[in-house]
């Protein structure tokens, strides 16, 4: 029920709990959240920052 209202609280890349998330747009055009640990990987994959 919690995820129904607030969405999943997991990183798009590592699937771990989000702490200080950053928002990016993936290749399909959807908004995704990435944890601080995975930000360098997301930028190497050329995800666009919102």
What pLDDT, in 10s, does the model give residues 1-44? 555 556 668 999 999 999 889 999 998 999 999 999 999 999 99
Cα separation of 48 and 34, whole Å? 12
Prediction pTM value: 0.75
Burial class (CB in 10 A: 0-12, 13-18, 19+), 6: exposed
- pLDDT at residue number 13: 94
Domains of the chain with CATH codes: 2-49 (2.30.170)
- pLDDT at residue number 44: 94
Q: How many C-beta atoms surround the C-beta of residue 23 within 10 A?
A: 13
């Amino acid at each position: 029920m919690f995820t129904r209202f607030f969405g999943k609280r997991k990183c798009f890349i590592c699937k771990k709990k989000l702490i200080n998330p950053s928002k990016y747009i993936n290749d399909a055009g959807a908004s995704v959240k990435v944890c601080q640990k995975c930000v360098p990987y997301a930028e190497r994959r050329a995800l666009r920052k919102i």
